[in-house]
C-alpha cells in the first residue's frame, strides 16, 4: 500500500513538474501560502518608498505595481516562481515576462469588467464550463479586443522590468530562490532562477512525508485487527499512517469517545463483525469486465476507453484538433458549434474520471483474484456510519465493484425460501422491484431461459446490460446458473441485498410515529410496495395538468417519471433545498437528452434551466404535501441548532446504542486573493486563519442530516447484534442496504425489523435530544413536534420495509 501510493504520488509530481504546475502540488501549495504575506508586505513597502523618493533603479516598475493590490502581485509572482521550481534552467527573463503577462491580463480583465460589465459576466458564465485556463484567457482577450476595451499594453522592456523587480523582491524576503548569472553563449551571460539548497531539502523532505501519508489502502489477506480503542484497529502494520475508529482530527472528541468506550459495545462489535467478513473476487464477472475494457465496450460504471468525438467544424467538416483556423462568420452557427463542443469536452472529463476509477477497480480485482479470502477493514464517520478503508474496490463501491465481490464463506441453499430470496435479489438489481416479492420470483422464473443464456455467453445477448445495475445482474445470472446446475445444497456466496425505502424518511416517520410518511415509506404492511418517488411524480403531473402554461404542457409531453423526482425526494430529509432540486432535474434532462432513443426534446440547451426551475417548484410543493411530519422535524432541528450555536456550543448527542456524536463545524476567517481568471473562472487562494467560533450556516444545515445519519448508523449496528443472534456471520452492509447470503436473507430481514422497532419503541429521540441540549442553554428550546399514532410493531409485518 505504501509503495503503490508513493508511486502514484511521484507520478503526479513528475507530471506537475513537466507542465510547470508545481504550485499545485502537495509541497507547492504551502510554499505559496507561506510566501504571500512577506512578499506582499515587501511590495507594499516598495511602492510606498518609490512613491516618496521617485527614483532608484527599480523605479521603472513603480507606476505599474501601484495599480495592484500587493497581495495580488505577490500571489502571481510566487505562483510563477514555484511553477517549475525544480527546473534549474529557468531563465529569470522568461519568468519575469510570465509574471508581467499575468499582471497585464489582470488589468485588462478589470478594465473589461468596468467598461462592459454585462458582456464580461456573460462570457464568464459561459467559461465556467471550461477548465482550460489558456482557452479562458484567449476568449477574454479576444472579446476585449473585439469590443474595443480601453487598455494600453506595457512595452516589452517595461514588462520585463516589472517582472524582474517582483522576482528580486521575492528572492530578498522569502529566501526561497537564488538568481545566479550563467554563461549561455561565448559573449552572453543571463540570470537564472533556482531554488536554494535549503528549499530543495525541504521539498525532498516534504515529498518523503507525503509518500508516507499517501498509501493506497488495499484489502487484507487476514481478518483485520479488532478495534480495542479509538486508536487501535484495522490494519496491523505501522508502516502506513494509523487510522482511527472514527474519521476525525478532533482529538478532544476522540478522547471523549475513548472515555465512553465501554458504554458502546454494540457499536464496536458491529464494526469488528463487518470487517471480519471474508470476500472473494468473482472471476466470471472479472473476465467479462476485462473483455469489455479491452474492447472499449461501455457498460454502466465501466466507461468506454475512447472519448466522445468533438463535433465537426460547420465550415470545413473536419473534427478540430489543436489550432483550428476556419473563420465562421455566422454568429448563430458559431455559438451552437462552440456550445456543442463544450458539452463534449465536459462529458469527456467526466468519462476520464470514471475511467480512472474503473481501471483501479479492475487492477485491484486482478491483483487479488486468486486469494481464498480478502478482508476490508472498516471505521466510522463522526455520525456512526460505517465505511471500508480500502479504496475503489469494496462492498460499498459502485455497481462494477459490488459485482466483483462474493462472500468467501457462503451458505447452502436448502429450501425454497432461500432460493426465493436469491431470485428476489436478481429481479431487484434488474429493476423489477416495484412489485410484490412473489411477482419478483415469478419474473425470474419467466426469464430463466434468458438468464441462463446470459450466463453461458454474456456477449451473444446483451440483454443484461439493460438492467438498472447490469454488472450485479450479470453476477446474479452466473449464481442462478450454478444453483440450477447443482440444485439444493448449492453453496451460494452472492450477497443478497435488502434495501430501505427512502431510508431518511423512514427514520423521520418512525421517530415521529407519522402514519402518512410511514405508509409512503413502507413502514406499514401492504400487498405491493409503496413508491414515494412515483407518488410525488403523480402529484406533480396532476399539478401540471391543471396549468395552461406552455412549460407545463411541454413537461407533460416529455413525461414526469419517478426518475425525475427520486433524487429531490431522497435529499429532502438531509436538508435538501429547492436549488438542489432544480439542479437534479436539470441533470436529469441532460442525461435523457444524451440517450439515443429519446426523440422528444422540447427544449434547446439554453431553455433547459428555465424548464428545470419551473418543474422544481411543483416537485418541491408535492414533497411538502406528502412528508409534512418530516418537514416539521427538520425545522425543529434547525431551530435547535441555531440556538445552540448562538450560545457558542458544539452540538452533541448520544445515539440510543451509546455512540457519542459531536457536530462542530468551525468557522474560518479567510484572506481571499481573487483574480479575474483562474481555477475555474476566479482564481482563489484561501488562507485559513484559526478561528474557534462555529459556522452558523453549516451547524444549522448540518444537524438534520447528521442526526438522521446517526440514527441509521445505530439501526445498522443494532441489526448486526440481532442478526448474530440468528447465526448470521457474513455481512454486506451499506447505510440503507443490508446484505447476507441467500440462506440468511429471511433471518436478516427479521433482525433489521426488530432492531428498527427497538430503536424507536418507547423512546422519543427528538425529546431526548431537546433535554440534552437544554442543559447548556439559557433560553427555552421550542417543544418538539407532536407524535402521531403509528404503531411501530406493524413494521414487523411489512414485507417491503427493507426488500
The pLDDT tens digits of the residues spanning 522-580 come to 999 999 999 999 999 999 999 999 999 999 999 999 999 999 999 999 988 887 889 99
> Which ranges of 116-245 would DSSP assign to H, the alpha helix?
117-127, 133-146, 156-174, 197-212
Tell me the pTM.
0.84
pLDDT digits 0-9 by tens, 2-43: 888 888 889 999 989 888 889 999 999 999 988 999 999 999
The closest of 222, 224, 242, 236 to 377, measured between CA atoms, is 224
With 80 as the cut, is the pLDDT of residue 362 above it?
yes
| Range from 241-245, 381-385, 455-459, 776-780 carrying the lowest mean pLDDT | 241-245
Mean pLDDT of 482-490: 97
Among 22-26, 117-121, 424-428, whose mean pLDDT is lowest? 117-121
- As given in the structure block, the three cell numbers for residue 792 are 411501530
Beta bridge partner(s), residue 374: 279
- Answer yes or no: is pLDDT of 604 > 90: no
For residues 35 and 636, is the Cβ–Cβ distance under 8 A? no
pLDDT at residue 111, rounded to an integer: 84
Q: How far is CA 75 from CA 41, 196, 428, 550, 684, in A?
A: 12, 20, 54, 51, 10
152 exposure class (CB count in 10 Å sphere: 0-12, 13-18, 19+): exposed
Active site residue 527: no
More confident: 84 or 139: 84
pLDDT (0 to 100) of residue 131:
54
Residue 682: pLDDT band (50, 70, 90) is: very low
Residue 419 and residue 402 in contact, taking contact as beta carbons nearer than 8 Å: no
Checking if the pLDDT of 247 tops 50, the result is: yes
Mean per-residue pLDDT over the chain, rounded = 89
Which pLDDT score is estimated for 572? 86
The reported pLDDT for the residue numbered 495 is 98
Is residue 678 scored above 60 in pLDDT? no
Domains and CATH numbers, the chain: 2-125+141-212 (1.10.1320.10), 279-319+329-380 (1.10.287.260), 411-492 (1.10.287.280), 527-626 (1.10.150.20), 634-797 (3.30.70)
**338, pLDDT greater than 80:** no
Q: What is the mean pLDDT of residues 363-389?
A: 97
On whether the CB atoms of residues 602 and 556 are closer than 8 A, the answer is no
pLDDT of residue 679: 38
Is residue 585 within 8 Å of residue 612, measured between CB atoms? yes
Q: How confident is the model at residue 605 (pLDDT cuts 50, 70, 90)?
A: confident
| Active-site hit among 399, 736, 744, 758 | 736
Q: What's residue 55's pLDDT?
A: 67
- Residue 683 confidence class, pLDDT cut points 50, 70, 90: very low
Provide the total of helices (H) and of strands (E) in the chain, helices listed first. Answer: 29, 19
- Could you tell me the pLDDT band of residue 178, with boundaries at 50, 70 and 90? very high
Q: Which span out of 49-53, 291-295, 681-685 was modeled with the highest average pLDDT?
A: 291-295
Q: What is the pLDDT of residue 684?
A: 41
Q: Are 511 and 760 in contact (CB under 8 A)?
A: yes
d(CA 373, CA 360): 19
What pLDDT, in 10s, does the model give residues 735-759?
999 999 999 999 999 999 999 999 9
Which pLDDT band, with edges at 50, 70 and 90, does 685 fall under? Answer: very low
Confidence bin at 596 (pLDDT 50/70/90): low
| Predicted pLDDT at 686 | 46
Q: What is the mean pLDDT of residues 630-639?
A: 95
pLDDT at 353: 77
Residue 499 has pLDDT above 60, yes or no: yes
Query: pLDDT confidence of 352, banded at 50, 70, 90?
Result: confident
Q: Which tops the pLDDT comparison, 151 or 582?
A: 582
491 has which bridge partners? 412
pLDDT of residue 676: 60
pLDDT at 702 > cutoff 70: yes
Q: Mean pLDDT over residues 378-399, rounded?
A: 96
Count of C-beta atoms within a 10 Å radius of residue 719: 27
Q: Dihedral of CA 771/777/780/781: which sign? A: negative
The pLDDT of residue 20 is 86
Three-class secondary structure of residue 382 per DSSP: coil
Amino acid at each position: 500500500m505504501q509503495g503503490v501510493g508513493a508511486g502514484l504520488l511521484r507520478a503526479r509530481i513528475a507530471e506537475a513538474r513537466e507542465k510547470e504546475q508545481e504550485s499545485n502540488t502537495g509541497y507547492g501549495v504551502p510554499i505559496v501560502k507561506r510566501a504571500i504575506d512577506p512578499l506582499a508586505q515587501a511590495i507594499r513597502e516598495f511602492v510606498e518608498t518609490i512613491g516618496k523618493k521617485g527614483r532608484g533603479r527599480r523605479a521603472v516598475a513603480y507606476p505599474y505595481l501601484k495599480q495592484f493590490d500587493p497581495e495580488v502581485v505577490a500571489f502571481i509572482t510566487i505562483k510563477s516562481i514555484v511553477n517549475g521550481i525544480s527546473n534549474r534552467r529557468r531563465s529569470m527573463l522568461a519568468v519575469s515576462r510570465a509574471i508581467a503577462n499575468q499582471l497585464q491580463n489582470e488589468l485588462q480583465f478589470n478594465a473589461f469588467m468596468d467598461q462592459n460589465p454585462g458582456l464580461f459576466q456573460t462570457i464568464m458564465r459561459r467559461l465556467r464550463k471550461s477548465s482550460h485556463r489558456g482557452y479562458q484567457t484567449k476568449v477574454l482577450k479576444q472579446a476585449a479586443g473585439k469590443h474595443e476595451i480601453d487598455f494600453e499594453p506595457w512595452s516589452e522592456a517595461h514588462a520585463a522590468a516589472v517582472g524582474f523587480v517582483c522576482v528580486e523582491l521575492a528572492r530578498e524576503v522569502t529566501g526561497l530562490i537564488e538568481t545566479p548569472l550563467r554563461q549561455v553563449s561565448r559573449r552572453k551571460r543571463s540570470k537564472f532562477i533556482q531554488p536554494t539548497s535549503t528549499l530543495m531539502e525541504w521539498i525532498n523532505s516534504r515529498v518523503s512525508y507525503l509518500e508516507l501519508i499517501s498509501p493506497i489502502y488495499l484489502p487484507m489477506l487476514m481478518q483485520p485487527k479488532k478495534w480495542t480503542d479509538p486508536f487501535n484497529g484495522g490494519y496491523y502494520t505501522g508502516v502506513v499512517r494509523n487510522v482511527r475508529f472514527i474519521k476525525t482530527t478532533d482529538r478532544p472528541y476522540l478522547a471523549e469517545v475513548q472515555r465512553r468506550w465501554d458504554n458502546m459495545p454494540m457499536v464496536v462489535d458491529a464494526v469488528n463483525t463487518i470487517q471480519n467478513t471474508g470476500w472473494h473476487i468473482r472471476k466470471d464477472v472479472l473476465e467479462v469486465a476485462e473483455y469489455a475494457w479491452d474492447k472499449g465496450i461501455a457498460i454502466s460504471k465501466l466507461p468506454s476507453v475512447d472519448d466522445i468525438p468533438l463535433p465537426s467544424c460547420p465550415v470545413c467538416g473536419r473534427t478540430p484538433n489543436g489550432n483550428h483556423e476556419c473563420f465562421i462568420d455566422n454568429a448563430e452557427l458559431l455559438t451552437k458549434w462552440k456550445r456543442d463542443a463544450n458539452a463534449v469536452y465536459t462529458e469527456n472529463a467526466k468519462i476520464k474520471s470514471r475511467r480512472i476509477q474503473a481501471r483501479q477497480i479492475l487492477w485491484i480485482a486482478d491483483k487479488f483474484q486468486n486469494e481464498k479470502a480478502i478482508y476490508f477493514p472498516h471505521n466510522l464517520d463522526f455520525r456512526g456510519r460505517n465505511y471500508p478503508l480500502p479504496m475503489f474496490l469494496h462492498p460499498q463501491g459502485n455497481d462494477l465493484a459490488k459485482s466483483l465481490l462474493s462472500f468467501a464463506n457462503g451458505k447452502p441453499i436448502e429450501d425454497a425460501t432461500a432460493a426465493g430470496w436469491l431470485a428476489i435479489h436478481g429481479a431487484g438489481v434488474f429493476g423489477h422491484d416495484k412489485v410484490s416479492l412473489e411477482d419478483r420470483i415469478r419474473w425470474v422464473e419467466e426469464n430463466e431461459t434468458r438468464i441462463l443464456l446470459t450466463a453461458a455467453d454474456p456477449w451473444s445477448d446483451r440483454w443484461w446490460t439493460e438492467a438498472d445495475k447490469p454488472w450485479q445482474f450479470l453476477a446474479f445470472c452466473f449464481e442462478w446458473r450454478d444453483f440450477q446446475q447443482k440444485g439444493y445444497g448449492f453453496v451460494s456466496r452472492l450477497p443478497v441485498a435488502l434495501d430501505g425505502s427512502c431510508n431518511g424518511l423512514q427514520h423521520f416517520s418512525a421517530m415521529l410515529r407519522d402514519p402518512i410518511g410511514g405508509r409512503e415509506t413502507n413502514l406499514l404492511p401492504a400487498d405491493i410496495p409503496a413508491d414515494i418517488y412515483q407518488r410525488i411524480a403523480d402529484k406533480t403531473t396532476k399539478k401540471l395538468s391543471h396549468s395552461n402554461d406552455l412549460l407545463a404542457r411541454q413537461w407533460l409531453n416529455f413525461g414526469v417519471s419517478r426518475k425525475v423526482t427520486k433524487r429531490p425526494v431522497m435529499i429532502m430529509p438531509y436538508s435538501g433545498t429547492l436549488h438542489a432540486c432544480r439542479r437534479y432535474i436539470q441533470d436529469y434532462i441532460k442525461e435523457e437528452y444524451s440517450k439515443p432513443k429519446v426523440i422528444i426534446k422540447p427544449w434547446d440547451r439554453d431553455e433547459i434551466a428555465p424548464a428545470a426551475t419551473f418543474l422544481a417548484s411543483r416537485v418541491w410543493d408535492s414533497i411538502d404535501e406528502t412528508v409534512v411530519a418530516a418537514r416539521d422535524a427538520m425545522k425543529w432541528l434547525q431551530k435547535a441548532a441555531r440556538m445552540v450555536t448562538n450560545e457558542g456550543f458544539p452540538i452533541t448527542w448520544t445515539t440510543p446504542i451509546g455512540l457519542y456524536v459531536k457536530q462542530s463545524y468551525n468557522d474560518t476567517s479567510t484572506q481571499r486573493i481573487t483574480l479575474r481568471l483562474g481555477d475555474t473562472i476566479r482564481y482563489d487562494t484561501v488562507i485559513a486563519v484559526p478561528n474557534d467560533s462555529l459556522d452558523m450556516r453549516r451547524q444549522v444545515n448540518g444537524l438534520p442530516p447528521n442526526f438522521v445519519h446517526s440514527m441509521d448508523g445505530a439501526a445498522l449496528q443494532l441489526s448486526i447484534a440481532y442478526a448474530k443472534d440468528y447465526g448470521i456471520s457474513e455481512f454486506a452492509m451499506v447505510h440503507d442496504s443490508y446484505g447476507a447470503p441467500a440462506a440468511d436473507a429471511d433471518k436478516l430481514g427479521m433482525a433489521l425489523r426488530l432492531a428498527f422497532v427497538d430503536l424507536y419503541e418507547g423512546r422519543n429521540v427528538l425529546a431526548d435530544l431537546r433535554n440534552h441540549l437544554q442543559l447548556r442553554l439559557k433560553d427555552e428550546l421550542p417543544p418538539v413536534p407532536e407524535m402521531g399514532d403509528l404503531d411501530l410493531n406493524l413494521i414487523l409485518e411489512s414485507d417491503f420495509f427493507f426488500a
